[in-house]
Structure 1
Protein backbone atom coordinates (compact mmCIF):
# COMPACT_ATOMS: atom_id res chain seq x y z
CA UNK A 1 0.00 0.00 0.00
CA UNK A 2 1.40 3.47 -0.90
CA UNK A 3 0.56 6.47 1.23
CA UNK A 4 1.60 10.08 1.27
CA UNK A 5 -0.94 11.24 3.83
CA UNK A 6 0.08 13.16 6.94
CA UNK A 7 0.65 11.24 10.15
CA UNK A 8 -2.54 12.67 11.63
CA UNK A 9 -4.62 10.98 8.95
CA UNK A 10 -2.66 7.78 9.56
CA UNK A 11 -3.73 7.88 13.21
CA UNK A 12 -7.37 8.37 12.26
CA UNK A 13 -7.32 5.36 9.97
CA UNK A 14 -5.22 3.02 12.07
CA UNK A 15 -8.19 1.58 13.96
CA UNK A 16 -9.49 0.03 10.74
CA UNK A 17 -8.47 -3.65 10.86
CA UNK A 18 -8.25 -3.86 7.08
CA UNK A 19 -5.26 -1.54 6.91
CA UNK A 20 -1.86 -3.21 6.60
CA UNK A 21 -0.13 -0.31 8.38
CA UNK A 22 0.22 3.44 8.10
CA UNK A 23 3.24 5.42 7.00
CA UNK A 24 4.82 2.53 5.09
CA UNK A 25 4.82 1.17 1.61
CA UNK A 26 5.30 -2.38 0.40
CA UNK A 27 7.45 -2.75 -2.66
CA UNK A 28 6.43 -5.18 -5.40
CA UNK A 29 3.97 -7.07 -3.20
CA UNK A 30 6.89 -8.81 -1.49
CA UNK A 31 5.70 -7.93 2.00
CA UNK A 32 8.95 -6.02 2.74
CA UNK A 33 8.32 -2.57 4.21
CA UNK A 34 10.13 0.30 2.52
CA UNK A 35 11.25 3.48 4.20
CA UNK A 36 8.70 6.28 4.43
CA UNK A 37 8.93 10.00 4.93
CA UNK A 38 6.27 9.95 7.65
CA UNK A 39 7.65 7.32 10.05
CA UNK A 40 10.85 5.55 10.86
CA UNK A 41 11.73 2.24 9.25
CA UNK A 42 10.65 -0.86 11.11
CA UNK A 43 12.74 -3.82 12.22
CA UNK A 44 11.72 -7.47 11.79
CA UNK A 45 10.49 -9.49 14.75
CA UNK A 46 13.63 -10.15 16.79
CA UNK A 47 13.02 -13.86 17.34
CA UNK A 48 12.15 -15.65 14.06
CA UNK A 49 10.88 -18.80 15.77
CA UNK A 50 7.11 -19.05 15.98
CA UNK A 51 6.58 -16.58 13.14
CA UNK A 52 4.83 -19.00 10.77
CA UNK A 53 2.22 -21.65 11.54
CA UNK A 54 -0.37 -23.25 9.25
CA UNK A 55 -0.41 -20.47 6.64
CA UNK A 56 -0.35 -17.70 9.23
CA UNK A 57 2.77 -15.53 9.28
CA UNK A 58 3.91 -12.68 11.50
CA UNK A 59 5.14 -9.89 9.26
CA UNK A 60 7.52 -7.03 9.99
CA UNK A 61 6.58 -4.77 12.86
CA UNK A 62 5.54 -1.74 10.88
CA UNK A 63 5.63 1.81 12.11
CA UNK A 64 2.31 2.81 13.65
CA UNK A 65 0.79 6.29 13.91
CA UNK A 66 2.61 6.93 17.22
CA UNK A 67 5.96 5.90 15.74
CA UNK A 68 5.98 2.71 17.85
CA UNK A 69 6.09 -0.76 16.24
CA UNK A 70 2.86 -2.57 15.34
CA UNK A 71 2.74 -6.35 15.15
CA UNK A 72 0.82 -7.59 12.10
CA UNK A 73 0.05 -11.00 10.66
CA UNK A 74 -0.99 -12.48 7.33
CA UNK A 75 -3.44 -15.34 6.82
CA UNK A 76 -3.41 -17.32 3.56
CA UNK A 77 -6.14 -19.76 2.61
CA UNK A 78 -4.61 -22.56 0.53
CA UNK A 79 -7.74 -24.70 0.54
CA UNK A 80 -10.70 -24.87 -1.85
CA UNK A 81 -13.36 -23.38 0.41
CA UNK A 82 -13.67 -20.19 2.43
CA UNK A 83 -12.23 -20.57 5.93
CA UNK A 84 -12.52 -18.69 9.20
CA UNK A 85 -9.23 -18.62 11.11
CA UNK A 86 -8.73 -18.23 14.86
CA UNK A 87 -5.12 -17.60 15.84
CA UNK A 88 -3.69 -17.63 19.36
CA UNK A 89 -0.61 -15.49 19.95
CA UNK A 90 1.76 -15.39 22.89
CA UNK A 91 2.90 -11.89 23.84
CA UNK A 92 6.53 -12.00 24.91
CA UNK A 93 8.71 -9.88 27.14
CA UNK A 94 12.20 -8.69 26.25
CA UNK A 95 13.66 -11.92 27.66
CA UNK A 96 11.59 -14.04 25.30
CA UNK A 97 9.19 -15.27 27.98
CA UNK A 98 5.47 -15.56 27.25
CA UNK A 99 3.61 -13.09 29.47
CA UNK A 100 0.04 -13.64 28.25
CA UNK A 101 -1.99 -14.83 25.26
CA UNK A 102 -4.41 -13.15 22.91
CA UNK A 103 -6.58 -14.47 20.07
CA UNK A 104 -7.71 -12.97 16.79
CA UNK A 105 -10.37 -14.26 14.39
CA UNK A 106 -10.24 -13.60 10.65
CA UNK A 107 -13.55 -14.48 9.06
CA UNK A 108 -14.35 -15.85 5.61
CA UNK A 109 -10.94 -15.87 3.94
CA UNK A 110 -11.58 -16.92 0.34
CA UNK A 111 -9.65 -19.70 -1.40
CA UNK A 112 -6.26 -18.39 -2.53
CA UNK A 113 -6.72 -15.13 -0.63
CA UNK A 114 -4.14 -13.58 1.70
CA UNK A 115 -5.44 -11.18 4.34
CA UNK A 116 -3.34 -8.95 6.57
CA UNK A 117 -4.47 -7.86 10.02
CA UNK A 118 -2.93 -6.13 13.02
CA UNK A 119 -2.82 -7.45 16.57
CA UNK A 120 -3.85 -4.04 17.85
CA UNK A 121 -7.48 -3.43 18.75
CA UNK A 122 -9.24 -0.72 20.72
CA UNK A 123 -9.49 -3.14 23.66
CA UNK A 124 -5.98 -4.60 23.41
CA UNK A 125 -3.43 -2.06 22.19
CA UNK A 126 -0.47 -4.39 21.73
CA UNK A 127 1.48 -1.49 20.28
CA UNK A 128 1.44 0.21 23.68
CA UNK A 129 3.13 -2.81 25.23
CA UNK A 130 5.82 -2.89 22.52
CA UNK A 131 6.07 -6.65 22.90
CA UNK A 132 7.03 -9.14 20.23
CA UNK A 133 4.52 -11.90 19.56
CA UNK A 134 4.66 -15.57 18.65
CA UNK A 135 2.02 -17.77 17.04
CA UNK A 136 1.18 -20.71 19.30
CA UNK A 137 -2.02 -22.14 17.76
CA UNK A 138 -4.02 -21.85 14.54
CA UNK A 139 -7.51 -23.23 14.01
CA UNK A 140 -9.35 -22.96 10.70
CA UNK A 141 -12.93 -24.08 10.03
CA UNK A 142 -15.18 -23.84 6.97
CA UNK A 143 -16.64 -20.34 6.99
CA UNK A 144 -20.21 -21.60 6.64
CA UNK A 145 -19.73 -23.80 9.75
CA UNK A 146 -17.84 -21.27 11.86
CA UNK A 147 -18.95 -20.81 15.45
CA UNK A 148 -19.60 -17.24 16.55
CA UNK A 149 -20.82 -15.82 19.81
CA UNK A 150 -21.64 -12.41 18.38
CA UNK A 151 -22.57 -10.61 15.19
CA UNK A 152 -25.49 -11.34 12.89
CA UNK A 153 -27.63 -14.32 13.87
CA UNK A 154 -27.06 -17.25 11.47
CA UNK A 155 -29.88 -18.25 9.11
CA UNK A 156 -30.51 -21.27 11.37
CA UNK A 157 -31.58 -18.91 14.16
CA UNK A 158 -29.17 -20.50 16.66
CA UNK A 159 -25.59 -20.11 17.79
CA UNK A 160 -23.51 -23.08 18.95
CA UNK A 161 -20.30 -22.37 20.86
CA UNK A 162 -17.88 -24.22 23.13
CA UNK A 163 -16.52 -22.71 26.32
CA UNK A 164 -12.93 -22.89 27.53
CA UNK A 165 -13.68 -25.81 29.83
CA UNK A 166 -12.23 -26.99 33.11
CA UNK A 167 -9.52 -29.51 33.93
CA UNK A 168 -8.51 -31.24 37.16
CA UNK A 169 -6.50 -34.42 37.80
CA UNK A 170 -6.77 -35.59 34.21
CA UNK A 171 -10.54 -34.97 34.01
CA UNK A 172 -11.70 -32.56 31.32
CA UNK A 173 -15.13 -30.91 31.02
CA UNK A 174 -16.16 -28.54 28.22
CA UNK A 175 -19.61 -27.05 27.78
CA UNK A 176 -21.42 -26.74 24.46
CA UNK A 177 -23.80 -23.80 24.44
CA UNK A 178 -26.88 -23.37 22.26
CA UNK A 179 -28.40 -19.89 22.01
CA UNK A 180 -31.66 -19.10 20.26
CA UNK A 181 -30.77 -15.81 18.55
CA UNK A 182 -33.71 -16.04 16.16
CA UNK A 183 -37.28 -14.81 16.35
CA UNK A 184 -39.14 -18.10 16.87
CA UNK A 185 -39.05 -20.83 19.52
CA UNK A 186 -36.43 -23.55 18.99
CA UNK A 187 -36.93 -27.07 20.35
CA UNK A 188 -34.30 -29.71 21.06
CA UNK A 189 -34.42 -33.04 22.84
CA UNK A 190 -31.71 -35.52 23.65
CA UNK A 191 -28.01 -35.21 22.91
CA UNK A 192 -26.12 -33.03 20.46
CA UNK A 193 -24.71 -34.87 17.46
CA UNK A 194 -20.90 -34.96 17.35
CA UNK A 195 -18.28 -35.78 14.75
CA UNK A 196 -14.72 -35.51 16.05
CA UNK A 197 -12.03 -34.16 13.72
CA UNK A 198 -8.24 -34.19 13.90
CA UNK A 199 -5.75 -31.37 13.17
CA UNK A 200 -6.44 -31.69 9.45
CA UNK A 201 -10.22 -31.71 10.04
CA UNK A 202 -10.42 -35.36 9.08
CA UNK A 203 -12.77 -37.69 11.02
CA UNK A 204 -11.28 -39.35 14.09
CA UNK A 205 -11.92 -43.08 14.46
CA UNK A 206 -11.71 -45.37 17.45
CA UNK A 207 -13.49 -43.07 19.95
CA UNK A 208 -16.74 -44.15 21.57
CA UNK A 209 -19.19 -41.27 22.11
CA UNK A 210 -21.20 -42.15 25.21
CA UNK A 211 -24.57 -40.69 26.16
CA UNK A 212 -24.14 -39.34 29.67
CA UNK A 213 -21.06 -37.96 31.40
CA UNK A 214 -21.52 -40.26 34.42
CA UNK A 215 -19.68 -42.92 32.45
CA UNK A 216 -16.61 -40.68 32.68
CA UNK A 217 -17.14 -39.19 36.16
CA UNK A 218 -20.03 -38.36 38.48
CA UNK A 219 -21.21 -34.97 39.66
CA UNK A 220 -20.22 -32.95 36.60
CA UNK A 221 -23.67 -32.10 35.30
CA UNK A 222 -24.37 -34.40 32.39
CA UNK A 223 -25.94 -37.55 33.76
CA UNK A 224 -29.64 -36.57 33.80
CA UNK A 225 -32.13 -38.23 31.48
CA UNK A 226 -32.79 -36.19 28.32
CA UNK A 227 -35.93 -34.03 28.33
CA UNK A 228 -37.53 -31.78 25.72
CA UNK A 229 -36.13 -28.25 25.82
CA UNK A 230 -37.91 -25.34 24.19
CA UNK A 231 -35.89 -22.16 23.85
CA UNK A 232 -37.65 -18.88 23.33
CA UNK A 233 -35.70 -16.12 21.55
CA UNK A 234 -32.77 -15.12 23.75
CA UNK A 235 -32.80 -18.33 25.81
CA UNK A 236 -30.02 -20.90 25.82
CA UNK A 237 -29.17 -24.49 26.68
CA UNK A 238 -25.95 -26.36 27.37
CA UNK A 239 -24.56 -29.88 27.07
CA UNK A 240 -21.37 -30.97 28.79
CA UNK A 241 -18.57 -32.99 27.20
CA UNK A 242 -16.39 -34.99 29.60
CA UNK A 243 -13.29 -37.11 29.08
CA UNK A 244 -10.02 -38.15 30.67
CA UNK A 245 -6.67 -37.57 29.04
CA UNK A 246 -5.08 -40.68 30.50
CA UNK A 247 -2.34 -42.12 28.30
CA UNK A 248 -1.52 -45.81 28.36
CA UNK A 249 -0.71 -48.35 25.68
CA UNK A 250 -1.39 -47.24 22.12
CA UNK A 251 -1.45 -43.90 20.35
CA UNK A 252 -2.93 -40.86 22.04
CA UNK A 253 -5.88 -39.27 20.24
CA UNK A 254 -6.23 -35.51 19.89
CA UNK A 255 -9.36 -34.07 18.30
CA UNK A 256 -9.18 -30.27 18.36
CA UNK A 257 -12.34 -29.89 16.25
CA UNK A 258 -15.89 -31.18 16.65
CA UNK A 259 -18.78 -30.78 14.20
CA UNK A 260 -21.90 -30.26 16.28
CA UNK A 261 -25.52 -30.64 15.19
CA UNK A 262 -28.03 -29.35 17.72
CA UNK A 263 -30.58 -31.91 16.55
CA UNK A 264 -31.27 -34.16 13.59
CA UNK A 265 -31.40 -32.16 10.38
CA UNK A 266 -29.79 -29.05 11.89
CA UNK A 267 -26.87 -27.37 10.14
CA UNK A 268 -23.48 -28.42 11.49
CA UNK A 269 -21.31 -25.98 13.41
CA UNK A 270 -17.60 -26.67 13.89
CA UNK A 271 -16.24 -25.77 17.33
CA UNK A 272 -12.79 -26.28 18.88
CA UNK A 273 -13.12 -28.06 22.25
CA UNK A 274 -9.49 -29.30 21.99
CA UNK A 275 -10.21 -32.89 22.99
CA UNK A 276 -6.98 -34.47 24.28
CA UNK A 277 -8.46 -37.92 24.73
CA UNK A 278 -5.22 -39.75 25.47
CA UNK A 279 -5.66 -43.47 24.89
CA UNK A 280 -9.00 -43.73 26.72
CA UNK A 281 -11.08 -43.90 23.53
CA UNK A 282 -14.17 -42.47 25.27
CA UNK A 283 -16.04 -39.17 25.31
CA UNK A 284 -19.12 -38.62 27.46
CA UNK A 285 -21.84 -36.26 26.19
CA UNK A 286 -24.59 -34.88 28.38
CA UNK A 287 -28.10 -34.04 27.14
CA UNK A 288 -29.24 -30.55 26.21
CA UNK A 289 -30.33 -28.81 29.41
CA UNK A 290 -32.00 -25.42 29.60
CA UNK A 291 -29.70 -22.80 31.05
CA UNK A 292 -31.89 -20.93 33.50
CA UNK A 293 -28.97 -18.80 34.70
CA UNK A 294 -28.22 -17.19 31.33
CA UNK A 295 -29.47 -13.66 30.82
CA UNK A 296 -31.95 -13.24 28.04
Structure 2
Protein backbone atom coordinates (compact mmCIF):
# COMPACT_ATOMS: atom_id res chain seq x y z
CA UNK A 1 0.00 0.00 0.00
CA UNK A 2 1.37 3.39 -1.07
CA UNK A 3 1.83 5.95 1.65
CA UNK A 4 0.20 9.31 0.99
CA UNK A 5 2.69 11.97 -0.23
CA UNK A 6 3.84 14.38 2.46
CA UNK A 7 3.17 18.03 1.65
CA UNK A 8 6.30 20.05 0.66
CA UNK A 9 7.43 22.75 3.05
CA UNK A 10 7.18 26.42 1.94
CA UNK A 11 11.01 26.63 2.00
CA UNK A 12 11.36 23.72 -0.38
CA UNK A 13 8.79 25.24 -2.75
CA UNK A 14 10.65 28.60 -2.91
CA UNK A 15 14.23 27.27 -3.15
CA UNK A 16 14.23 26.93 -6.98
CA UNK A 17 12.86 30.48 -7.29
CA UNK A 18 15.55 31.90 -5.01
CA UNK A 19 18.28 30.08 -6.94
CA UNK A 20 16.95 31.45 -10.21
CA UNK A 21 16.86 35.02 -8.87
CA UNK A 22 20.42 34.76 -7.53
CA UNK A 23 21.69 33.45 -10.85
CA UNK A 24 19.93 36.24 -12.74
CA UNK A 25 21.43 38.83 -10.43
CA UNK A 26 24.92 37.43 -10.95
CA UNK A 27 24.49 37.42 -14.71
CA UNK A 28 23.18 41.00 -14.66
CA UNK A 29 26.12 42.20 -12.54
CA UNK A 30 28.63 40.56 -14.88
CA UNK A 31 26.91 42.03 -17.90
CA UNK A 32 27.09 45.65 -16.64
CA UNK A 33 30.87 45.67 -16.08
CA UNK A 34 32.58 47.44 -18.96
CA UNK A 35 36.17 47.00 -20.10
CA UNK A 36 38.41 49.46 -18.29
CA UNK A 37 35.84 50.29 -15.63
CA UNK A 38 37.03 49.93 -12.07
CA UNK A 39 37.00 51.48 -8.65
CA UNK A 40 38.00 55.08 -8.04
CA UNK A 41 41.22 53.86 -6.45
CA UNK A 42 42.36 52.26 -9.69
CA UNK A 43 42.39 55.56 -11.62
CA UNK A 44 45.84 56.77 -12.51
CA UNK A 45 47.11 59.78 -10.57
CA UNK A 46 48.91 62.48 -12.53
CA UNK A 47 52.68 62.22 -12.21
CA UNK A 48 54.79 65.33 -11.58
CA UNK A 49 57.30 66.37 -14.23
CA UNK A 50 60.64 67.70 -13.05
CA UNK A 51 61.30 71.38 -13.75
CA UNK A 52 64.78 72.81 -14.31
CA UNK A 53 64.23 76.21 -12.67
CA UNK A 54 67.32 78.19 -11.59
CA UNK A 55 65.12 79.98 -9.07
CA UNK A 56 66.12 82.97 -6.98
CA UNK A 57 67.13 83.70 -3.38
CA UNK A 58 67.28 80.00 -2.53
CA UNK A 59 63.81 79.23 -3.90
CA UNK A 60 63.15 77.13 -7.02
CA UNK A 61 60.34 75.21 -8.68
CA UNK A 62 61.13 71.49 -8.77
CA UNK A 63 58.13 69.92 -10.54
CA UNK A 64 54.92 70.57 -12.45
CA UNK A 65 51.82 68.37 -12.18
CA UNK A 66 49.17 68.51 -14.90
CA UNK A 67 45.72 66.83 -14.79
CA UNK A 68 45.19 63.60 -16.77
CA UNK A 69 44.01 64.03 -20.31
CA UNK A 70 41.08 61.57 -19.92
CA UNK A 71 37.77 62.90 -18.57
CA UNK A 72 36.73 62.19 -15.02
CA UNK A 73 34.51 59.12 -14.42
CA UNK A 74 30.78 59.67 -14.35
CA UNK A 75 29.14 59.92 -10.90
CA UNK A 76 26.64 57.27 -12.02
CA UNK A 77 29.34 54.62 -11.62
CA UNK A 78 29.96 55.20 -7.95
CA UNK A 79 32.53 58.02 -8.19
CA UNK A 80 32.46 61.38 -6.43
CA UNK A 81 30.38 64.14 -7.98
CA UNK A 82 32.63 66.51 -9.90
CA UNK A 83 32.47 70.30 -9.73
CA UNK A 84 31.21 70.32 -13.32
CA UNK A 85 28.13 68.35 -12.33
CA UNK A 86 27.34 71.00 -9.70
CA UNK A 87 27.68 73.89 -12.18
CA UNK A 88 30.77 75.15 -10.35
CA UNK A 89 33.96 76.33 -12.02
CA UNK A 90 36.43 73.49 -11.34
CA UNK A 91 39.98 73.87 -10.15
CA UNK A 92 42.47 73.42 -13.00
CA UNK A 93 44.20 70.53 -11.22
CA UNK A 94 47.58 72.08 -12.05
CA UNK A 95 50.18 72.42 -9.30
CA UNK A 96 53.89 73.10 -8.87
CA UNK A 97 56.27 71.69 -6.30
CA UNK A 98 58.92 74.02 -4.89
CA UNK A 99 61.74 74.00 -2.38
CA UNK A 100 63.22 76.73 -0.20
CA UNK A 101 66.78 76.66 1.11
CA UNK A 102 67.73 79.27 3.70
CA UNK A 103 71.22 80.37 2.73
CA UNK A 104 71.33 83.07 5.39
CA UNK A 105 72.35 83.16 9.03
CA UNK A 106 68.94 83.72 10.66
CA UNK A 107 65.56 81.99 10.62
CA UNK A 108 63.40 83.50 7.88
CA UNK A 109 59.82 83.48 6.63
CA UNK A 110 59.49 83.51 2.83
CA UNK A 111 56.70 84.81 0.63
CA UNK A 112 57.00 83.27 -2.83
CA UNK A 113 55.22 84.15 -6.08
CA UNK A 114 55.19 81.30 -8.62
CA UNK A 115 54.01 81.90 -12.18
CA UNK A 116 52.46 79.17 -14.33
CA UNK A 117 53.38 79.61 -18.01
CA UNK A 118 52.26 78.54 -21.45
CA UNK A 119 54.61 77.19 -24.13
CA UNK A 120 55.36 80.71 -25.43
CA UNK A 121 56.36 81.90 -21.94
CA UNK A 122 53.17 83.83 -21.23
CA UNK A 123 51.98 83.97 -17.61
CA UNK A 124 48.72 82.03 -17.17
CA UNK A 125 48.45 82.45 -13.38
CA UNK A 126 50.48 83.82 -10.48
CA UNK A 127 50.07 82.24 -7.06
CA UNK A 128 51.67 83.05 -3.69
CA UNK A 129 53.00 80.55 -1.17
CA UNK A 130 54.48 81.10 2.30
CA UNK A 131 57.29 79.13 3.91
CA UNK A 132 57.49 79.99 7.60
CA UNK A 133 60.32 79.66 10.10
CA UNK A 134 62.97 78.22 7.76
CA UNK A 135 66.15 77.74 9.81
CA UNK A 136 69.63 78.61 8.46
CA UNK A 137 70.85 75.85 6.16
CA UNK A 138 67.47 74.08 6.17
CA UNK A 139 65.45 73.13 3.08
CA UNK A 140 61.66 72.91 3.11
CA UNK A 141 59.34 71.81 0.34
CA UNK A 142 55.77 72.62 -0.59
CA UNK A 143 53.17 72.69 -3.34
CA UNK A 144 51.17 75.56 -4.79
CA UNK A 145 48.10 75.13 -7.00
CA UNK A 146 47.37 77.20 -10.09
CA UNK A 147 43.70 77.39 -9.08
CA UNK A 148 40.82 78.12 -11.46
CA UNK A 149 41.80 79.07 -15.01
CA UNK A 150 39.44 80.43 -17.69
CA UNK A 151 38.43 77.87 -20.35
CA UNK A 152 40.25 79.90 -23.03
CA UNK A 153 43.58 79.80 -21.17
CA UNK A 154 46.36 78.22 -23.25
CA UNK A 155 47.76 74.96 -21.95
CA UNK A 156 50.16 75.38 -19.04
CA UNK A 157 53.54 73.80 -19.79
CA UNK A 158 55.89 75.26 -17.17
CA UNK A 159 56.33 77.15 -13.92
CA UNK A 160 59.03 79.31 -12.35
CA UNK A 161 59.72 81.52 -9.34
CA UNK A 162 58.69 85.09 -10.13
CA UNK A 163 59.37 86.88 -6.86
CA UNK A 164 60.74 86.14 -3.39
CA UNK A 165 60.48 88.28 -0.25
CA UNK A 166 61.83 87.18 3.09
CA UNK A 167 61.75 88.67 6.56
CA UNK A 168 63.08 87.57 9.96
CA UNK A 169 60.72 84.89 11.21
CA UNK A 170 60.17 86.64 14.54
CA UNK A 171 58.95 89.78 12.73
CA UNK A 172 56.81 88.19 10.01
CA UNK A 173 53.14 89.22 9.86
CA UNK A 174 50.91 86.69 11.59
CA UNK A 175 49.52 83.86 9.52
CA UNK A 176 45.88 84.44 8.51
CA UNK A 177 43.51 83.09 11.13
CA UNK A 178 46.11 83.20 13.91
CA UNK A 179 46.78 85.74 16.64
CA UNK A 180 50.31 86.45 17.94
CA UNK A 181 51.10 86.40 21.65
CA UNK A 182 50.91 90.21 21.70
CA UNK A 183 47.22 90.04 20.76
CA UNK A 184 47.89 92.59 17.99
CA UNK A 185 48.09 91.79 14.29
CA UNK A 186 49.89 94.25 11.95
CA UNK A 187 49.77 94.04 8.15
CA UNK A 188 50.02 96.15 4.99
CA UNK A 189 47.74 96.19 1.96
CA UNK A 190 48.76 96.38 -1.69
CA UNK A 191 48.16 100.11 -1.86
CA UNK A 192 46.95 102.45 -4.57
CA UNK A 193 48.82 104.41 -7.21
CA UNK A 194 47.75 107.32 -9.42
CA UNK A 195 49.88 109.79 -11.40
CA UNK A 196 53.01 108.90 -9.48
CA UNK A 197 51.36 109.22 -6.04
CA UNK A 198 51.49 106.10 -3.90
CA UNK A 199 49.37 105.28 -0.85
CA UNK A 200 49.72 102.05 1.19
CA UNK A 201 47.61 101.25 4.24
CA UNK A 202 49.00 99.82 7.47
CA UNK A 203 46.44 97.86 9.45
CA UNK A 204 46.34 97.17 13.17
CA UNK A 205 43.87 94.60 14.51
CA UNK A 206 43.19 93.70 18.12
CA UNK A 207 42.84 89.92 17.87
CA UNK A 208 43.39 89.43 21.60
CA UNK A 209 41.08 89.60 24.62
CA UNK A 210 42.12 92.95 26.14
CA UNK A 211 41.66 96.54 25.06
CA UNK A 212 44.61 98.11 23.25
CA UNK A 213 45.35 101.84 22.94
CA UNK A 214 47.60 103.66 20.48
CA UNK A 215 48.12 107.38 20.02
CA UNK A 216 49.97 109.16 17.28
CA UNK A 217 51.89 107.63 14.41
CA UNK A 218 53.27 104.15 13.73
CA UNK A 219 57.00 103.93 14.39
CA UNK A 220 58.83 102.98 11.19
CA UNK A 221 62.28 101.71 10.23
CA UNK A 222 62.98 101.52 6.51
CA UNK A 223 64.94 98.41 5.49
CA UNK A 224 66.74 97.32 2.33
CA UNK A 225 66.73 93.84 0.80
CA UNK A 226 69.24 92.64 3.39
CA UNK A 227 67.07 93.99 6.24
CA UNK A 228 69.53 96.79 6.97
CA UNK A 229 68.33 100.36 7.71
CA UNK A 230 68.04 102.70 4.72
CA UNK A 231 69.60 106.13 5.16
CA UNK A 232 68.77 109.40 3.46
CA UNK A 233 64.96 109.24 3.64
CA UNK A 234 62.94 111.67 5.80
CA UNK A 235 59.91 110.07 7.45
CA UNK A 236 57.36 112.86 7.85
CA UNK A 237 54.44 112.88 10.28
CA UNK A 238 51.38 113.46 8.13
CA UNK A 239 51.01 113.54 4.36
CA UNK A 240 50.92 117.28 3.74
CA UNK A 241 54.57 117.28 2.73
CA UNK A 242 53.71 114.82 -0.04
CA UNK A 243 50.16 115.55 -1.19
CA UNK A 244 46.80 116.66 0.20
CA UNK A 245 43.63 114.60 0.36
CA UNK A 246 45.37 111.31 1.11
CA UNK A 247 43.78 110.81 4.54
CA UNK A 248 47.15 111.14 6.26
CA UNK A 249 46.69 114.78 7.36
CA UNK A 250 44.34 114.38 10.33
CA UNK A 251 45.73 115.25 13.77
CA UNK A 252 46.67 112.27 15.95
CA UNK A 253 44.17 111.19 18.61
CA UNK A 254 44.07 108.38 21.16
CA UNK A 255 42.58 105.23 19.63
CA UNK A 256 41.36 102.43 21.90
CA UNK A 257 40.58 99.12 20.26
CA UNK A 258 38.39 96.51 21.88
CA UNK A 259 38.78 92.83 20.91
CA UNK A 260 37.98 92.44 17.23
CA UNK A 261 38.37 96.17 16.43
CA UNK A 262 41.00 97.62 14.12
CA UNK A 263 42.76 100.83 13.08
CA UNK A 264 44.71 101.96 10.02
CA UNK A 265 47.39 104.44 9.03
CA UNK A 266 48.62 105.54 5.61
CA UNK A 267 52.06 105.59 4.02
CA UNK A 268 52.24 108.29 1.33
CA UNK A 269 55.00 109.01 -1.20
CA UNK A 270 55.78 109.96 -4.78
CA UNK A 271 58.01 107.98 -7.10
CA UNK A 272 59.33 111.04 -8.91
CA UNK A 273 62.81 110.52 -10.35
CA UNK A 274 65.00 113.52 -11.13
CA UNK A 275 68.71 113.98 -10.48
CA UNK A 276 70.33 111.46 -8.18
CA UNK A 277 69.95 107.77 -7.53
CA UNK A 278 66.40 106.37 -7.05
CA UNK A 279 65.77 104.75 -3.68
CA UNK A 280 63.73 101.56 -3.33
CA UNK A 281 62.73 100.31 0.11
CA UNK A 282 61.32 96.77 -0.01
CA UNK A 283 60.68 96.36 3.74
CA UNK A 284 59.35 98.51 6.57
CA UNK A 285 59.67 97.48 10.21
CA UNK A 286 56.53 98.69 12.01
CA UNK A 287 55.88 99.18 15.72
CA UNK A 288 52.32 100.11 16.59
CA UNK A 289 53.69 102.25 19.44
CA UNK A 290 56.80 102.53 21.58
CA UNK A 291 57.60 99.17 23.18
CA UNK A 292 55.37 97.15 20.82
CA UNK A 293 56.70 94.05 19.08
CA UNK A 294 58.09 94.87 15.61
CA UNK A 295 56.44 93.50 12.47
CA UNK A 296 58.20 93.72 9.11
CA UNK A 297 55.92 94.28 6.12
CA UNK A 298 56.88 94.47 2.45
CA UNK A 299 55.18 97.43 0.74
CA UNK A 300 58.04 97.94 -1.78
CA UNK A 301 58.40 101.71 -1.54
CA UNK A 302 59.67 103.10 -4.86
CA UNK A 303 60.62 106.51 -3.48
CA UNK A 304 62.40 107.71 -6.60
CA UNK A 305 64.72 110.59 -5.76
CA UNK A 306 62.24 112.41 -3.51
CA UNK A 307 63.85 111.28 -0.25
CA UNK A 308 60.52 111.61 1.60
CA UNK A 309 57.87 109.31 3.04
CA UNK A 310 54.75 110.57 4.81
CA UNK A 311 52.99 108.54 7.52
CA UNK A 312 49.51 109.28 8.81
CA UNK A 313 48.24 108.75 12.37
CA UNK A 314 46.37 105.69 13.54
CA UNK A 315 42.62 106.04 12.92
CA UNK A 316 39.95 103.67 14.10
CA UNK A 317 38.40 101.66 11.31
CA UNK A 318 34.66 102.16 11.04
CA UNK A 319 32.65 98.98 10.78
Give yes or no for TM over 0.5: yes
Question: Which residue, 260, 263, 270 being the options, matches 1:237?
Answer: 263
Distance in 1 of aligned mates of 2:99 and 2:262: 35
Matched, 1:205 2:231: yes
Instruction: Please list every run of at least 4 consecutive aligned residues from structure 1 whose deviation after the TM superposition is greater than 3 angstroms.
Output: 6-9, 38-45, 62-70, 128-131
| Unpaired segments ≥5 residues, structure 1 | 1-5, 12-37
Q: CA deviation at 1:131?
A: 4.8
- TM-score, structure 2 as length reference: 0.73
Distance in 2 of aligned mates of 1:159 and 1:120: 27
> What is the match of residue 57 of structure 2?
54
- TM-score, structure 1 as length reference: 0.79
Contact 1:149/1:159, CA 8 A, preserved across alignment? no
Distance 1:66 1:201, change over 3 A: farther
Rg: which structure is higher?
A: 2
Distance in 2 of aligned mates of 1:109 and 1:209: 32
Matched, 1:157 2:183: yes
Aligned residues: 255
Distance 1:42 1:159, change over 3 A: closer
Matched, 1:177 2:203: yes
Residues 219-276 of structure 1 show CA distances to partners (whole Å, capped at 9, x for unaligned) of 1101000000000000000000000011111111111100000000001000001101
Distance 1:153 1:39, change over 3 A: closer
> What is the match of residue 118 of structure 1?
143
| Unpaired segments ≥5 residues, structure 2 | 1-38, 71-92
> What is the match of residue 114 of structure 2?
89
Contact 1:42/1:69, CA 8 A, preserved across alignment? no
Which structure dedicates a bigger proportion of its chain to helix?
Answer: 2
Distance 1:41 1:148, change over 3 A: closer
